[in-house]
Amino acid sequence: MVDRRAAMKIIKLTVFGMFAIAAILVKSAWDTYDLARRHPAPHLGIKSDPEALRLKASVRQLSAVIGRRNYRYPRGLASTAAYIRGEFRNAGYNVRAQSYFVHPPGFGELRMENFIATIPAASSGAPVLVIGAHYDTAFETPGADDNASGVAVLLDLARRLKDCSSRVEIRFVAYSTEEPPFFGGPEMGSAVHAQALKAEGRTVLGMVGLEMLGYYDDAKGSQKYPMLLSLFLPNTADYIGVVSNLPSRSFMKEFVNGFRPPQGTRLIAASLPEWVGEITLSDHRNYWDEGFPAVMVTDTAFLRNVHYHQTSDTPEKLDYRRMADVTAGLEHAIRSLVE
């Protein structure tokens, strides 16, 4: 007969060991940066911040004026496509449409389009950097944070970087199908783009996915995490996050080391194994599948934003001052990668 005390001791040691291993894995996988406090500056009100006002106008156009934009609402998709193409062209780009077909249940075959604006490199055959955001919405939602905020920042980065003299080819890509029923399958717009990029045989420096960038909360306890990550990370939703899988760790570190937000918005960055499923929940996952390094820039979606995939995801919920600060920080990060 096994001694009961010895058995309990073995069980306790086993459980403790499992938690210890998990904690070590999580701690070693996460790189936390607080670069934004290096050069803090006073926060500006939105009325004195033209960049914030421009982002607000884009989010409002997409989520309040156009509203629902997915395969169930083709007029919304068409209006969004026209808006994105117009904004890219106004910034001085030639816009390429990447067409493909999807087959949502009950809707037959539908034609969708990604839109691509490119800054060519100084030399042919140079590496490619992709900056992308999806423009469709989930279900019946107006999608202010998800993902009008990402599209607004994508368009603003395209404007800011137009004069970039680059050793790298920069492609700004707006994807048309990220949300259900396409998510996780080959009919995601980003899957189509990543596969086409792979077929080109080009070297890919990396991909930066812009996924929900506008929601912040200064209250303690406003930020949630999966599993044990709350042991290591702040519980206040006042920062922007950057996440990667483990093979993209070097690209992520180089990218976030260039992040310089003028008003001091914090950045928290993490490299984690893909079995932490929350890090796979956007377009960057499809670039991982093709073997390309990629990161997601995010406000962490449902881990802080209670309006995620709800009809209450409306423009007035977002913090455009912080969005503008993050956009400026991202511009600096991208320039540090390519110039």
- Which tokens hold the place of 50? 């033209």
pLDDT value for 44: 46
Tell me what the mean pLDDT of segment 320-330 comes to.
Answer: 97
pTM of the model: 0.90
- Which tokens hold the place of 27? 């701690």
Predicted confidence band at 36 (pLDDT cuts at 50, 70, 90)? very low
Predicted confidence band at 165 (pLDDT cuts at 50, 70, 90)? confident
Report, in this order, helix, strand and coil percent for the chain, each rounded to 5: 45, 20, 40
Predicted confidence band at 41 (pLDDT cuts at 50, 70, 90)? very low
Residue 38 has pLDDT above 80, yes or no: no
Predicted confidence band at 116 (pLDDT cuts at 50, 70, 90)? very high
- Which tokens hold the place of 49? 């911040």
**What integer best gives the mean pLDDT of the chain?**
90
pLDDT value for 79: 98
Backbone dihedral angles phi then psi of residue 320, each to the nearest 5 degrees:
-75, -25
As a whole number of angstroms, the distance between CA 139 and CA 208 comes to 25
Do residues 187 and 102 touch, judged by C-beta distance below 8 A?
yes
pLDDT value for 230: 86
Residue 293 has pLDDT above 60, yes or no: yes
